[in-house]
């Protein structure tokens, strides 16, 4: 661990101990003390609290070591659940997960659209109630609700778009308190890219000691960082704003005021615009409108990956889409190469709805870029993979925050 557990709050310590159990599968109190740096007495107290809350169970005894049997601990498999909600322009995704992050139930609903946050919160509360009503759970079995919200979003023309100033409005609204009161459950709110990283860590068998980045693509790019066991949020909790990493100092202007940002060069809007500059834009009926962006980006990605069986006579359309997606993927690879080299990461996971259609194209490109030029080549390969959680990565990750 990079930071001794004794400098953390009780909740952080419990979360870190749960992480050690999760990554260890089964583990003894003695091993937990060794790995956490806490005293045996402290570990016993933390473990007792986690046992009392039903988060851990004792599971038989390990081998004799030094003449003393060790009771082993593992995550509870039932009786304890959490709700995750991913809030996005395209869709609201609800999941009910067990302690291992396995999705027990899920529901999808229309996204934010033009709704102001206060309306979205009302819909989210209703959605959570409907998800839980379909299950035979008692309230005590539900640890709480985690909500993944977008980070920095394109503000658009002032006053023209309900999504403008979204992150600020969530804060002003006091989302945790408002939703918590509506549901009668503890609610935690996290950025979607951080949630996705937490989900990968919890479910994706990532070792507790790994330093990894989770690239989350939805409206734009976000980067969740987990460095040797700790989530990195930065000084003002805005770490991971990789969409505005400048890749071309004199490049295309970005809405953030800078030029040549990853988002301006390679984000969904840029990919759609690139295809619209060719005859393929008309073939696919692209409009380039903000409201249709997620749908049109998915259309381009599907054509690029040839999922929708573009007819032989439309090879040019497929080729234009493929070129646009591959250009985007090269920029993503370049950005991630710098991040891998600066932070000495050993793993990159691509997650989020933006990778649903052409994820393998992006993963191949990032892998090629990182393998070819990473400064880690001498010390070991950097693993690049697509999330196995698909559209649920942020929702599952948000849910796991409710267990901590």
Q: Site residues for Zn ion, window 359-378 (CB under 5 A)? A: none
Number of residues that bind Zn ion (CB under 5 A): 5
- Of 31 and 241, which CB lies nearer to Zn ion in the complex structure? 241
25: left (phi over 0), alpha (psi -120 to 50) or beta: left
10 Å Cβ neighbour count for 89? Answer: 23
Tokens 């989210």 locate to 124
Q: How far apart are CA 317 and CA 169, in angstroms?
A: 40
Applying CB under 5 A, the span of 64-72, 159-167, 237-245, 393-401 interacting with Zn ion comes to 237-245
Look-up of token digits 């000495």: 344
Answer for the pair 211, 343: CB distance below 8 angstroms, yes or no: yes
Closest to Zn ion by CB, 50 or 245 = 245
Q: Hey, which residues between 296 and 335 contact Zn ion (CB under 5 A)?
A: none
Window contacting Zn ion (CB under 5 A); options: 66-74, 238-246, 309-317, 368-376: 238-246
Q: How far is the CB of 155 from Zn ion (least distance, A)?
A: 12
Site string for Zn ion, 122-141 (x = CB under 5 A): --------------------
Report the nearest approach of Zn ion to the CB of residue 17 (Å).
Answer: 39
Per the CB < 8 A criterion, the answer to whether 288 and 274 are in contact is no
Q: Which is nearer to Zn ion, 254 or 325 (CB)?
A: 254
φ and ψ at 118, to 5 degrees?
Answer: -65, -35
Identify whether the C-beta of residue 350 lies closer than 8 Å to the C-beta of residue 359: yes
Q: How far is CA 37 from CA 7, 34, 41, 51, 102, in A?
A: 11, 6, 12, 20, 30
Per-residue interface string for the shown chain with Zn ion, residues 244-283, x marking contact by CB under 5 A = x---------x-x-x--x----------------------
From residue 378, alpha-carbon distances to 206, 240, 273, 333, 346 in Å are: 22, 27, 39, 19, 12
Nearest by Cα to 322 from 285, 275, 288: 275
Q: How many residues does the chain have?
A: 404
Least distance from Zn ion to the Cβ atom of residue 247, Å = 10
Question: In whole angstroms, what is the distance from residue 200 CA to residue 220 CA?
Answer: 19
Closer to Zn ion at the Cβ: 190 or 263? 263
Nearest approach in angstroms of CB 260 to Zn ion is 8
Q: Which is nearer to Zn ion, 38 or 254 (CB)?
A: 254
Q: Which is nearer to Zn ion, 202 or 331 (CB)?
A: 331
Nearest-approach distance from CB 279 to Zn ion, in angstroms: 29
Report if residue 348 touches Zn ion, rule: CB under 5 A. no
Min. distance of Cβ 253 from Zn ion in angstroms? 9
Give min distance, CB of 41 to Zn ion, in A.
51
Nearest distance, CB of residue 172 and Zn ion, angstroms: 23
**Interaction site with Zn ion (CB under 5 A):** 244, 254, 256, 258, 261
């Amino acid at each position: 661990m990079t930071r001794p557990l004794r400098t953390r709050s009780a909740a952080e310590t419990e979360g870190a101990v749960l992480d050690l159990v999760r990554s260890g599968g089964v583990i003894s109190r003695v091993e937990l003390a060794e790995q956490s740096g806490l005293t045996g007495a402290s570990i016993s107290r933390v473990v007792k609290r986690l046992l009392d809350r039903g988060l851990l169970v004792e599971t038989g005894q390990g081998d004799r070591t030094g003449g003393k049997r060790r009771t082993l601990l593992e995550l509870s498999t039932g009786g304890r659940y959490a709700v995750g909600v991913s809030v996005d322009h395209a869709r609201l995704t609800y999941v009910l997960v067990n302690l291992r992050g396995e999705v027990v139930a899920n529901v999808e609903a229309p996204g934010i659209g033009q709704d102001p946050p206060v309306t979205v919160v009302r819909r989210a509360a209703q959605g959570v109630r409907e998800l839980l009503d379909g299950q035979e759970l008692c309230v005590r079995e539900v640890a709480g609700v985690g909500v993944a919200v977008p980070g920095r979003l394109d503000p658009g023309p002032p006053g023209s778009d309900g999504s403008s100033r979204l992150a600020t409005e969530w804060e002003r609204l006091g989302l945790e308190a408002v939703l918590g009161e509506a549901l009668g459950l503890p609610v935690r709110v996290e950025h979607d890219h951080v949630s996705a990283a937490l989900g990968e860590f919890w479910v994706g068998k990532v070792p507790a000691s790994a330093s990894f980045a989770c690239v989350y693509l939805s409206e734009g790019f976000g980067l969740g960082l987990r460095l040797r066991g700790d989530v990195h949020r930065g000084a003002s909790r805005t770490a991971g704003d990789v969409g505005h990493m400048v890749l071309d100092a004199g490049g295309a202007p970005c809405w953030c005021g800078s030029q040549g940002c990853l988002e301006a060069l390679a984000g969904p809007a840029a990919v759609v615009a690139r295809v619209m500059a060719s005859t393929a834009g008309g073939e696919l009926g692209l409009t380039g409108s903000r409201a249709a962006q997620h749908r049109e980006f998915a259309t381009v990605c599907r054509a690029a990956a040839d999922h929708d069986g573009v007819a032989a006579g439309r090879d040019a359309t497929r080729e234009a889409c493929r070129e646009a997606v591959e250009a985007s993927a090269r920029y993503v690879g370049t950005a991630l190469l710098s991040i891998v080299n600066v932070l000495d990461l050993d793993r990159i996971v691509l997650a989020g709805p933006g990778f649903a259609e052409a994820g393998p194209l992006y993963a191949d490109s990032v892998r090629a870029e990182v393998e070819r030029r990473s400064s880690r080549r001498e010390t070991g390969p950097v693993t690049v993979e697509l999330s196995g959680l698909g559209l649920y990565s942020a929702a599952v990750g948000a849910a796991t925050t409710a267990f901590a």
